[in-house]
Each structure stands twice: as structure tokens, then as C-alpha cells.
Amino acid sequence: MSYRVTFVCTGNICRSPMAEAVLRRHAEEEGLDVEVDSSGTGGWHAGDGADPRTVAALRRAGYASAHTARQFGDGWFDRYDLIVALDAGHRAELHALAPDRDAAAKIHLLREYDPDAAGDLDVPDPYYGDDAGFDDVLTLVEAAMPGLLDAIRAGLKERDGRA
């Protein structure tokens, strides 16, 4: 059974689809059995593709992106091993939806996995800014990937009884 990870931001068109694309490629390159997707805390963009600036930033960095936005559902906690919020507001909204402590324990901030992150662990929303903001978000997402991959490897070992 695959290890299941979802990323959650506000509208699921900027930050979370970017993180999804980056993790998907790294997991595939390592041959990890990981399913990756993303969603938003709100449904404003449900059915839309990723923001064109997200797609452009990903392409500039060599990542593929095929995405349709959707809203995180309150009954989805059992679907995932790890739920990764992009900022503290998303984490708070997810905690409010969590049906119990086990579900809440699955929720983490992406930048928790970046050993060089200090203080504010939010990934800023680039939506109202220029293209450079999307590149900055991609830099933050990529910085967290080694730590996130370590956590996924540990989760896979634990689940497989090899911890």
C-alpha cells in the first residue's frame, strides 16, 4: 500500500500544487511508493487548473504539472498518512476539521522539514504578487523536500514493521 501525502493551501492553485509536483518527482526518482495530491481549504477554484504562474515556475525548474483544484473534505483524514499544510492558517483549519487526535497528528507544516527554516514556518502566498514570488515559493518547497522525504521513508519503514 502506498504512503499517501497531501498538501493543503488556500485555493489549491499556487502553493499546494507546486509542492505536489516537486514531491511527486522526487518520490518517483527515488522509487518510493508514494501517492501525492493536493487540495485547498476553500473551494473557490475547484475544477480550475493551477495558476499559470505556478505552472511557469515549475516548468522553468524542470517539473511537470497537470493539476485540477479541489477542496479538502472533512472526511478525508483516513485517506492520508501525512497532511502537509503550507501555512499556519491552513494548519489551524485542518486541526478544526480533524475528527480526533490521530487525525490531527497527521497534520504538519511543510517548512517543519526544512532544517534551515527559522521562526516563521509559513510558505507565503504568491497569488497577489509577481512571478518572482512563485519562484521564491518553489525555493522554499524544494528546501523542505530532503527532510520531507526522510519523514516519508521513516513512515514507510514504520508501517512495514522495519522501524
* Cα–Cα distance, 17 to 69 (Å, whole number): 8
Q: How far is CA 99 from the centre of its chain?
A: 21
Which residue is catalytic, options 25, 70, 125, 135? 125
Max alpha carbon distance in the chain (Å)? 46
* Cα–Cα distance, 112 to 124 (Å, whole number): 14
Q: Catalytic residue at 53?
A: no
Q: Catalytic residue at 9?
A: yes
* Cα–Cα distance, 82 to 75 (Å, whole number): 15
DSSP state string for 69-116: --BPPTT-GGG-SEEEESSHHHHHHHHHH-SSHHHHTTEEEGGGG-TT
* Cα–Cα distance, 63 to 14 (Å, whole number): 14
Which residue is catalytic, options 4, 14, 15, 122? 15
Which residue is catalytic, options 4, 9, 87, 122? 9
* Cα–Cα distance, 157 to 142 (Å, whole number): 23
- The residues assigned a catalytic role are 9, 15, 125
